[in-house]
Structures are given as C-alpha cells and as structure tokens.
Amino acid sequence: MPLSYHGLILDFGGVLTTRMRLNGEAFERSEGLPPGAYFHALNEHPDGVAIYADLEVGRATQTEWNQVIGGILGIDPTNLMGRALANLRPEAAIVEAADRARAAGVKVAMLSNSFGLEPYNPYAALGMHEGFDVVVLSEQVGVRKPSTAIYQHALDELGLAGPECVFVDDHAQNLPPAEALGIRTVHHTDAGSTATQLDAFLSARTGEGPLAVR
C-alpha cells in the first residue's frame, strides 16, 4: 500500500455490521415467512425493487417502503424497516480496525446506500451515527452505489484524492466504480480477513510492524 493512504471508506450494512443475509433470514423466521420470501420481495418483485431504489435516493420515504414491502409480504407494515433490521449488530473486528486507523490519523468515512432515517434510524440504533469524519448516505445526496458520483462525493467530503483512499464493500459490483477513481478496494467476505488487510495497509502507511487484530 502506498504511503499516501489517508482515507478509509466503509460500507455500512454487511461491513460495519454483521451479515445482511443472516439478518434477513432471522427476520423471515421472526415473521413466520417462508424462506427466501423477504429476499424475493427486495430483489425480484418489481414493486419491491422499485421502492427500494427510490428509498435509497430519497424519492420515497421509509414509511412508503414499509407499506409496499409489507403489502408484498402480507405482514403488518408498522415499523417494518426496524423489524427487518432488528438482528443487525456492529461487526466488532471492522469497527475496531476503523478505530485503529482513525487513531493513526486516517480519515474514516461511512458510505451507505440508505435504509431511510425515519421512523427508524439504523445508524443511530447501532451507535454508528457518530465517530466518523464523514458520513455519506445515498438518500441525502440523491445518488447511490454503484454510481461513480457517490464515491466522488465521499472523496470531496474527505478532501482526499482517490489513490489516497481504501474502500471496503461486501458487494463486488460496487468496487469497479471506486477503482475507476483510483481508490484501492477490498471485497469484504470475512471480518477477520478484512481487518487484517486494513491493519496491513495501516502498517505500510506508518512503517510500523503488523497491528494485532483483536
């Protein structure tokens, strides 16, 4: 890693948190839904796909998302997003790696395709509404990953150039647009492995030995 590493950009769901699929499967069980029903509503049902896309860029409210997804699934829409994300937890290994980077002088940003902020704010609920130098939520800027524009916005907010930054995301399709801006990317599949990579980058930047992953 070049010594110009000054910025770390982290995805929220599935990187700074535990795995989204495990959370969704737990939600299906808690609501008595057939396995795969929730993922079908989000990723395959045309109304579900459309409302999620609109929510992410601020064209729809979370309440509207609750109504549409609740209707598709045939369940109570009241605080549906809150119930759907109830099993997410902070991913300790990544949070701690980010803390180590920030303590070493690296600017740390959270970059998330938004879940909406009202009535349920998942970032505040998991204690991730602060502790970052920059927070970029797609609904607030009107563009979502994998658009190159949202990565450029994050760079502008950090005051850094692409080659100075590392970006971590669990969806491979979100990486190439960041790479096009010169950002070094990490495809997150395992928290321990990602934390080790981030610590190795930090060691290269500071010239210190390997940092322990707690």
pLDDT of the residue at 201: 84
From the list 184, 1, 210, 12, the residue with the least C-alpha distance to 100 is 210
What is the 3-state secondary structure of 143-208? CCCCCHHHHHHHHHHHCCCHHHEEEEECCHHHCHHHHCCCCEEEECCCHHHHHHHHHHHHHHHHCC
pLDDT of the residue at 64: 98
In the predicted model, what is the mean pLDDT of residues 77-90?
Answer: 97
CA angle 150, 181, 19 (to 5 degrees): 55
CA 98 centroid distance within chain: 14
Preceding omega of 146 cis (within 30 degrees of 0): yes
Q: Please say whether the beta carbons of 42 and 52 come within 8 A.
A: yes
* Alpha-carbon span 155 to 174, nearest angstrom: 16
* 150-177 per-position pLDDT tens digit: 999 999 999 999 999 999 999 999 999 9
pLDDT of the residue at 125: 94
* 89-144 per-position pLDDT tens digit: 999 999 999 999 999 999 999 999 999 999 999 999 999 877 899 999 999 999 99
Q: Please say whether the beta carbons of 168 and 9 come within 8 A.
A: yes
In the predicted model, what is the mean pLDDT of residues 79-90?
Answer: 97
63: its two tokens? 């309440």
Q: Please say whether the beta carbons of 15 and 169 come within 8 A.
A: yes
pLDDT of the residue at 213: 31
- pTM exceeds 0.75, yes or no: yes
* 20-51 per-position pLDDT tens digit: 999 999 999 999 999 999 999 999 999 999 99
